[in-house]
Structures are given as C-alpha cells and as structure tokens.
Structure 1
Amino acid sequence: MKIMLMFSILFSNLIFSQIIVPSDYIKIPDTLRSRNDLYKFIIPNQKYEYWKVMRKDDTLEEKLIYENKEVKNIKYVKTHSSEKGFFRECLPGWCFTYITAYQNKKPKYFTSERELKDFIGYVDNLPEALLLARTYNLLFDYKNPIGGSFKIDKDFIYLYLAKFENCPVSREAFYVKINRKTGVLEYESKGIYYKTSDCYLS
C-alpha cells in the first residue's frame, strides 16, 4: 500500500513537472496581482472626459475602485448606479463591477464582459490583457511562472495563466493567446501543476 502511494505521488509530480514555460516568456510582475490595480492602465477604445470603475455588493453599498479624469475640475451630474455588472462574485452573497464613462457630460454604462472588452478595444498592454483573461476566470499565479508568464508582439499577447480550485485545492495551467486588434482570446489547458488534498468551501 505504501509503495503504491509513493508511486502515485512520484507519478503525479512527474506529470506536474512536464509543464514548461518557453524561455522567451517573462514572469508577470507581482505588482499586477490585484485586479483593482489593473484598471488604471486601461486606455479606452474611445475618448472619454471622465470614467470610473465601481463595485456594488448585496448590501447595495458602492465603492469607487478607480476614476480617470481627462478634463480637470469638471463637474458631473450624479448618475443612477447600475443594477448589473461584470466579475459577478462574493458568494454566498453577490457583488459586481461596472464602468461609467462620460462623453459630452452624458453617462454610458459598461456592465458585461462583452462591454468591458468593447471599452478596452485594442489591447494596449499587459494589464488590459489580464483583465480580459479574468472574464474567462483565468488568473495570475504570482508564485509560479507556469501560471504567471507573458510575452508580447505587435499582433498578440501570449500568457501562461491559471485556474484555481478550492476543493480539492489545485491550480491548472492555461496557455492564452489574445489578438490585440480584436480582443479575441483563445486558450488551452496545459494540465494541473499543483494539487493538495485540502478542501475549502466558502
């Protein structure tokens, strides 16, 4: 029984070690770990005088995550908050994120993953790519390059990201390719590279 267990562990480690990140990929900087820190790098697809990112939860409380003002000292009419958004999470309750952007002092809401993609438009940089990947639940593993590496050329952004499971705890590596012009994202699993017997239920 002990021999079988040892063989199983060795075999699992062998499978996990097969995932290799190409040498021309760079580890994603740890400073990009927090999703809230990514919004400030967005270069919107259109020109807006002002835009902001809001988070709303099941208590109906709203929190300003980020705001960008192209025109200084301009006043905006307070708008109604959105009743829907992207990045729906916070189980067992709920919360979501949305963007309000102003053109000619008129608000426009971006409340879905598709609309977030439209707001970003051309994928200018790595933080925008990470935000798009998060709409597919593909996250940055700052502890391991297998789940947190990238390279960029003029047409595409290439990433190694991860999906996390809590029960049992595991991390699965994914190769991601994002068309910078269209925002189209393709991905494929490269296999599980970390797994334990722990189980966490929210």
Structure 2
Amino acid sequence: MVKFTCRLVTFICIVSGISLSAQEKKQFPNVSAVLQNIVPNTKTDSWILVHKSYGKDNIVKQSTVKEYESQSSGFNIGIADEDAFYYIVDFSTGKPEYITGLTALRKFVGKVDNIYDAAVFAAAEGYIIDEEFRDLAANYYQDKSNYYLDLGKLTSTECPYQKKHFTLTIPKSGETILNTKDNGSYIELYNKKCTNNPRLLKLEKKEEPKDEPKKSKPTRRK
C-alpha cells in the first residue's frame, strides 16, 4: 500500500511538472525569425521572404531561386517602421504572387500549425510583437488545445499616444481568436500639443500669486 501511494504521488508530480512546463511563458524571437518559421497553407516550399529597408531588398528566407520584382509596400507584425517592411513572393502557382498585406499573409498561412502562425493571425487583427517590451507584449505559452499570446496593440495615435497589452487565446489548428483579455496600457505618452496632458492641467490649476496690497500714499500736512 505504501509503495502504491509513493508511486501515485510520483506520477502526480510528473504530470504536474509536465503541465507546468507546458504553460511556461516563452518570449517570441525577433520578427524576422517568426516570419521565417510560418507554415504556408499551400504546402509548398517555393516562396521567398524579403525584408526591404531604406529601398534595399534583403532576402531573409529563400527556398527557390527565381526572379521577382521588388515591391514598394509590405507588412510588419512588429513595430511599424516607415522605411522598412516585409513581403513574400509565392511561386506555388508557377508564377510570382506578391504578399504585401497582413490579410493576404493570413490567407497564405491558412490555419494555425504553430505558434508563429498564431502570431500572424493576431497581427492580422492589429496586434504586434513589441520587442522593446518582451515581458508584457512579446511572449506566449501553450497547453494541449490552445496557444496563449501576450501581445501589444497601438490603441491611440492621438493625445495621448497609447499602447495596450492583451492576452489572446488561439486554438491549435484553428482559424480564429477565441478570447481576448485586456491587460491595460503599458505606454501612454503626451506631447506639448496635447490639451489633455495631465502635467499641463496641473500647471493651469496652480494658483496665481496674489497681488501685493497697494501702499497708501502719505498725507501731506498743510
């Protein structure tokens, strides 16, 4: 009986350890590595991933050597940079097809085959991998059924500039986001032009110095 109890306790500990290990948070690698590891829905290895920066094409992943035309626009699943973006050249139909938007990228992925595909699904809904704040907005964990992604989202470009972080639940081999949890803002920036800047409001409310009492003129004796 004692041996059975010990074995049962050991089994429970092992199962618990596996469960905890499965739910351990891991940080996303950089955006380039995420895009290199997506699994296309077309079951083809004939595609090229290009990172264009300051007008120059840099081939990040190339499974086929074919000619293609450089693109003037593209997508990003991280912090957007006006001078840099990614695009994909897909040769699955025999001729080059260019993927320059997040909606097209999601269609290229098709369904969620791994955590990197899940990140693409989230990006198509406006969420980002924020490499500057990995603990808050660039990590994930998983269980038997779902991926759980902690990602950021730009919620305001006006006053104040604001980013929030969310936890998204995306099913494995699924094609949708099951649940979204708002974890609050982690960046909130005001500039001098913001009329709702708390600092400016405090300065306006600050009491103005009171005028000193006027001194009475001395009376002259006649």
For Structure 1 versus Structure 2, the TM-score category normalised by the shorter chain is 0.5 to 0.7
Q: Which residue of 2 aligns with 1:5?
A: none
Provide the secondary structure at the position in 2 that maps to 1:187: strand
Instruction: Map Cα deviations across residues 20-42 of structure 1 (whole Å, 9 max, x no partner).
Output: xxx7742123xx33100112321
> Is this contact kept in 1: 2:165–2:184, CA < 8 A?
yes
Given candidates 184, 187, 190, the residue that maps to 1:191 is 184
| Unmatched runs of 5 consecutive residues or more in structure 2 | 1-19, 192-222
1:15 maps to: none
Which one-letter code corresponds to 1:116 in the other structure?
L
Q: 2:128 is paired with a residue of what secondary structure?
A: coil
1:37 has 2:33 as partner: yes
Other structure's SS at 1:43 match: coil
Deviation at 1:114, TM superposition (A): 0.7
User: With structure 2 as the length reference, what TM-score do the two structures score?
Assistant: 0.58
Q: Mind listing any 5+ residue stretches in structure 1 that lack a counterpart? A: 1-22, 70-74
Q: From the superposition, tell whether residues 109 and 155 of structure 1 become closer, same or farther in structure 2 (CA, over 3 Å).
A: farther
Q: Counterpart of 1:123?
A: 112
Three-state SS of the structure 1 residue aligned to 2:76 is strand
Q: Which residue of 2 aligns with 1:28?
A: 26
State the alpha-carbon separation in 2 of the partners of residues 87 and 163 from structure 1.
Answer: 13
Contact 2:52 2:86 in 1 (8 A): yes
Quote the residue 1:56 is aligned against: 52
**Counterpart AA for 1:90:** D
Q: Which has the higher contact order (CA 8 A, sep 6+)?
A: 1
RMSD over aligned Cα atoms: 3.4
From 63, 67, 70, give the equivalent of 1:68. 63
Task: Note the alpha carbon deviations across 1:146-186, whole angstroms, 9 max, x for none.
Answer: 44443335653222223479998976321212244453235
Number of residue equivalences:
165
Correspondence 1:178 to 2:170: yes
CA-CA distance at 1:80 after TM superposition: 1.6
Displacement of 1:44 in angstroms is: 0.7
1:81-133 CA-partner distances (Å, limit 9, x unpaired) = 23332229323xx3321100112542122111111001111111112222333
Closer, same or farther in 2 for the Cα pair 1:47/1:190, shift >3 Å?
same
Contact 1:48 1:103 in 2 (8 A): yes
Instruction: Tell whether 2:91 aligns with 1:102.
Output: yes
Mark the structure with the bigger radius of gyration.
Answer: 2
Query: C-alpha distance in 2, partners of 1:130/1:179?
Result: 12
Q: What one-letter code is carried by the residue in structure 1 that aligns with 2:127?
A: N
Partner of 2:101: 112
Shift of residue 196, structure 1, vs aligned partner: 8.1
Identical columns (%): 22
When you count helix as a share of all residues, which structure comes out higher? Answer: 2
Q: Which amino acid aligns with 1:187?
A: T
Separation (CA, whole Å) in 1 of partners of 2:164 and 2:183: 7
Q: Distance in 2 between matches of 1:159 and 1:179?
A: 11
Tell me what 2:150 maps to.
160
Partner of 2:199: none
Is the contact made by 1:168 and 1:195 (CA closer than 8 Å) also made in structure 2?
no
Tell me, yes or no, if the aligned pair for 1:155 and 1:179 is still in contact at 8 Å: yes
Following TM superposition, by how much is the alpha carbon of 1:190 offset from its aligned partner in structure 2, in angstroms?
1.5
2:111 is aligned with what amino acid?
A: Y
